Structure 1
């Protein structure tokens, strides 16, 4: 809208003044200053009629030619109709000027005036076509961006929903073990499980949470695990004050702690040590690596889920490093 008003304010007067000069149909030396202003006003009105008529034609014909596959034929159609309108308007204008001003000029001047009107109409049409295409491209980009955002949110929600059965599957296995082997601790385990699951329910629809909140949750989660594993499990946190502003997808650390416990063999003599640390680019979650000698009962969606969440949210992948002694997952830092 602003571009349209600006174009009108600039080019309609310029065209109105230029048309008679280009055509040579006005003898300016014969007229006073007031008359020259009136002459300019007359041809500015002609310019205004051509401009408004061409834009009206453009707006009305554009929806009709969209089904046509060839874009050049679309533009050609509008240019031809606009040129015919400009030729008629220009001819009427120059004839009217000849009558009211009693000017005498050769026929070539009339033809030049009409030709200039046609050229201006084609120029207006092409200019407005560029503006329309630019606006349509902008709208299309917004629509695509919105659809892409909605798709990402839907994928992220689907991945988050996977956490529910995944978490319950492993927790109920642990509770089942306690009920059979240590019934006295099953009640305490159940209460802690309720607290941990409350955290999951509160944060499951959030894309990001502060790392500090996730660490508090992990402390409760690891406490719950220690009821089952006694002193076989240790969590070490080595973080600086700079990590206070770090954000993380909810339950990211829980997935990695759970993954370490699920896939490694550990005893009181050789406990499982899980360490959380960070540098400028990554959050490290590492554990001593001693794979279980048997096939683990696992749904197999933990690390895959976590990597998909990072890819959707940040277009980044988590990194996994495995050595004989350690297994490390590197999460990109988000501040």
Structure 2
């Protein structure tokens, strides 16, 4: 479940907190509270509710619930957040009633009252918000699973694309006459790619090392077929253990480079692949080629959809007139 708040979440919270604030205003009116209490207490309640919900959604739940690190610590921190925000609200309310803060209830009662106040103020909006997020996540899972089923046949077909095979056979035909040794290497690399695609067709994720082996073989085919039109540079000076990617992710990124960039004159297509602890980033210079409507990055769209099921993070795309950059998150199962 993605705990980051979207536009509809903010609207929902605004409605809940707004309605609650109106009820508080009505209650203050019925009890004849002073103007100072209106001015101080209501904004304090709103501020404390926003702070508590923000801490839950952006810090506590992503780091302690979704990653399943320490449920006991999660409970302790949740109680602390509710108690702290409730205590501050009660203290401000005590002061706004023109009471001497030095006469505030003893510490254990003040903390207990703060916990009750925090739970009362935050419990309802947070509960409704989490219910909404859970429903949205389940709906998204069903939608993506349906899309994945529809894409499975397309994925298998793209892996065994007759055009891909036809182009490689043409390249082989030329190599056999001009460079028999390289033709043997080409056949070996091509067979390794097809073996990998067939063996992993049912796997959601694969080791980063295996994906990079696929990338090496795929880049060899590209450079053999197109000569030095496409140049690749890979920085992989990290430990690949316990690092995974969606199966075929690297191939999809390389296909995107070749599919959307053609060499014009001396303007070679330069592509760099950088791998750090958390991301794989592919950057290439753009050629001025107008893509057709049926080739507008469907591979990247499918890759984004797969990440919605596999990771909290999603691919990041940055594009300028001269450069295209995409970063995909590395999946770590130990988390």
TM normalised by structure 1 equals: 0.48
TM normalised by structure 2 equals: 0.48
Answer with 1 or 2: which has the greater Rg: 1
